[in-house]
Amino acid sequence: MDKQFIFLSGLPRTGSTLLSAILSQNKDIHAPGNSPVCQLMWDMHVSCHNPASEQIRANNRTDAIDDLIRSIPETYYKHTKKSFVVDKCRSWTLPVNLDLIQKHVTKDPKILVLLRPIDEILVSMAQLRKKNGWKSDLFTGLLEEGSEPIMRSLAGVINAKSLDTNWFHFVNYKDIVYEPSTTMNGIYDFLKLPRFEHDFESITQEYPENDFVYGMLGQHDIRPTLSELEKTLKLPKNLVKKCHVINQYIFEDYGSLRAA
């Protein structure tokens, strides 16, 4: 492959759009919005091993399966001449998708995994719902087993945390906001790329997403300078304990994090 792929994953409302905008300041890095590449690769994998499997085997073309799947990232990003492509999808850290990366993209992936305390994510999601005129309970369904966008990506984060590998670099949302230079240097060191001097005072979205498509306006908006959005809602008491338990899975140093 001509391009080197970097994968951006983790939990929602953790600054992935912000980080993509910052990385896009580097002329060698293409870091657009949410990508369909993971889903497209999975769909091709399923087709080759199920609906289309009979025809592939009957024509002795199983050799084409790898070429078909690995062509998807290159085809999707053929419009960019940049050497490094950041593909953003919350599902990359799930076991089946890590397997796709290893089999069809690279044996030694570099995956940025964004984290944030789950209680802060819930409040951020609820405030976004309120802004969009959500009529029912603003927190309803957010922690239901297997649900999107939080619980499925949480399963991926927990999986990544359990693996003894150098594939992952975990980034805390607060570190992006309050320690941007140190955080970005850590990211470049992990990626084994030369460090780059970013502008944190005038951040723009080179690749804005149309949130009307998602039905949730404003979810990918960013501010030109680094800051946390003011919390206008409070987490319901019935979710506090559950969030505390989940946070202990996400952060080994959760106690010191909350004390900071």
pTM of the model: 0.94
CB 124 within 8 A of CB 11: no
Q: What is the mean pLDDT of the chain?
A: 94
Q: What is the pLDDT of residue 2?
A: 77
For the stretch 130-141, pLDDT in tens is 999 999 899 999
Are 11 and 116 in contact, with CB atoms under 8 Å apart?
yes
Cα torsion angle, 190, 34, 174, 13, sign: negative
Residue 254 pLDDT > 90? no
**Structural domains present in the chain:** 4-211+225-259 (3.40.50.300)
* Euclidean distance between CA atoms 120 and 139, whole angstroms: 12
